[in-house]
A and B are shown apart, each in its own frame.
Chain A
C-alpha cells in the first residue's frame, strides 16, 4: 500500500516537474518563437497583413481602409510588384474586437509570417497589440489619426496627430471668428488628449478655451451640451466627438438652431457625415484633416486620379475616407523602402524607412511629396481645412504642410539613435516646454 501511494504521488510529482522543466526550454514545439528579423513566407512573394474592421462598431470607418489597401496592392502587383515580387495579402476581419486583434496579430506574425502589418482603427486596438508587436519586433504601420506621442521603434504611425489636425484648423478659425473657444470631446484618451492640445494651440495662437466638456462614448443625447454651448457663447467650438452615438450631436444641434462655427478633427473625413446627414446639420463645420475625398489636388480628383481608381475597383463603396489614403500611401512607402533596402528583412526595411522616404500622396498638391520623418516614424502631412456649407458642399479654405513637432522637437524622440517603446502625452509637452 505504502509503496503504491508513494509511487503514484512520486510519479505525478516527478512527471509534472519534468514536463514543466522540459517546456522551460521549449524548443520542441513547432512554430514557437517568431522573429522579426526573419523574412517573409516565400522567396518570390511578399506577404502583407491587413487587419481592418469590416464588421462591428468600426466597420463604417474600417472598410474604406481595407479597400484602399487592396487598391494599392493591386496597383503595385500590376506594375511588377515590389522588386519583381508579387504581394499576397492576409486580411481576415477582426470584427472591431480587440481580442480578435490580439489573436490575429499573433497569427499574422507567427503563422503567416507577414513582412509588414497594417492593423487597427482605434488607439485601444493599437495598444492591445503593441505588446505582441514589440515582443516580436514586427514592422507595423498604424494609419489612423490619433492623439500623437507614440515613439516606438516598431511602430510607424503615419496618420496625422491631433496636434497636426487641430493645428491646421484652430489658427484659421481664430483668425476668422475670434479668440473664445469651447471644447467638446469624447470622454476617453483620444478626446481628452486632443482637448489638451487645443489648450496648447490656444496659447500659441492668442486664443482662450472658455469651456470644456467631455461626453461618454455611449451618450447620444446632447440637449444639455447644446444649452451649455449657448450659455458660454464662444466664437467657435472645437469638436473631437467620436463614434456613431456622437454623430447625433450634429443633427441635434442643427435642429436646436445652434449655428456657431465648429472646427473638428474627427467629423466628416472619417465617417462622411456630410453625406449621411440631411443638410444643414454639417453647415459651417471645418474639418482639419490631411485627406478627404473632396481634396482638390490633381492626384486626387483629376481624371484617373485616386478617387476615380478607387470607385472603379469598388463601385459600391460609400466613401473614400481619411484613413484610407493613409493606408494607401504607406503601402507605397513600404514598397519604396523595400526597394531601397533590397530585401524584405524587417530590420533592414525599418532602417530604410528611417533614411528619409518621401511619396507623392493624393493629399499633396501638384508635384509635392510628403515625407516620413526618420527620427519619429511619423509623417509631415499636407493639412487641409475643409468647410461644409448649408448644402453640404465641401471646399478647401486653407492648406499647408504641418510637420510633426511634438515628438521631434519638444520631446526629442529620435529612433535613429535610440530604440524606444513609449507613448508621450501633452503633459510631457508642458514639462519639456517649461
Chain B
C-alpha cells in the first residue's frame, strides 16, 4: 500500500507536518514498514479540503489530528 500525504501550501497550513509524523509513528508502532510505503505529495488538487492523503488510488480529504486514528483504521488497517 502506498500512502502520500499532501505537503502543498494549503495542506501544510492545515497540518501536514503533524499528519506525516502521526503516519510515521503509527506505521512504526504497528510494524507496517514492509506493507506500507509512506511518501509526501506535491498538491493533490483538493486544496480546499486538506489535509489530503492519497491511499493507493483513493484520496481521503479533511484529515486532521482528531480524526486521524479513525481514518487510519478505516483506510489503512481494515484494508490491509
- Are A and B subunits of one complex? no
Question: Which residues in A have some Cβ–Cβ distance to B below 8 Å?
Answer: none
